[in-house]
Amino acid sequence: MKWDVPYAAPSGRVVHLDLYRPEHVDGSLPCVLWLGGGGWQRMNKRGAVRWAAWLTGHGFAVAGVNYRLAPEHPWPHPLGDVRAAVRYLVEHADELGLDPRRLAVMGDSAGGHLASLLAVTPREASAALDADHLEAARPVTSPPPLPRLGRLVGLVGVVAVCPPTDLRTPHMASLQEVHALLGDAGPEAASTASPIHHLDAKSPPHLLIHGDADGLVPPSQSIHYAAALDAVGVDVRTLLLSQVGHDSATLYSDATARGLILDSLLRWTKLPATEPRT
């Protein structure tokens, strides 16, 4: 386990990730990036601890990633940060013991939103973001200049739990959290910050998990997103949990949800299903 690894320093503010690996396992491992929720205004990468113990037992490395928060750091800074985290993991894959071709991403609520954007934002929409972020967010260890990744080739799948996927809807546009994220970016930002706006056949497979009683991020955000993914030919599975609200702990801990998460990650990374390591 590596705690508080500095992966970038945008505007002089260092951002960190924690990396968990299975014990006594060598070789290049598939890695799951975990992005926590909190309305883009609060989160703690240590929340990954709950999932790291489970996923490392099945052969995955897990990276819990901090990103800068709104309103001090509004859109697009949070996305720029998590993209920088992926660049860091790819650039340092050999020394970290990771397989950069087998990276998946998982997040809940605001983290699910960023996880989806991380996977589906195409090159033309991300080039300006990366150009801006690379100037301000050189990795602290100063490796050689990193390539712009465009759409993150090698990101093999997305697990998004109760994710906001379309910030243009009247309900989402009315939320204080969305106003804090978008700041003064203007009306077009609601589209560019919406994963549903960026889909095409090159988008990676998704697993969407949502409570049907979610009053903050309505289940329609996952339902319509799933339909849009399916319409462009992307593999998508959706689980709606009955009488569950905006409660990521319940959504993650549901036995059916955990089974689908593990099955999806194993399938995307082509790991054989095994008994958890102790």
Contact 157, 268 (CB under 8 A): yes
Residue 140 has pLDDT above 70, yes or no: no
Residue 132 has pLDDT above 80, yes or no: no
pLDDT in tens, 260-273: 999 999 999 987 66
Residue 250 has pLDDT above 90, yes or no: no
Residue 249 has pLDDT above 70, yes or no: yes
pLDDT in tens, 43-75: 999 999 988 999 999 999 999 999 999 999 999
Task: Give this prediction's pTM.
Answer: 0.90
Residue 134 has pLDDT above 70, yes or no: no
Enumerate the domain spans of the chain.
2-269
278 contacts: CB under 8 Å, gap ≥ 6: 57
CA end-to-end span of the chain = 16
- Angle at the Cα of 43 from the Cα atoms of 38 and 47, rounded to 5 degrees: 110
Give the Cα separation of 239 and 241 in Å (integer): 6
Q: Find out if CATH 3.40.50.1220 is the number for domain 2-269.
A: no
CB-count exposure of residue 11 (10 Å: 0-12, 13-18, 19+): exposed
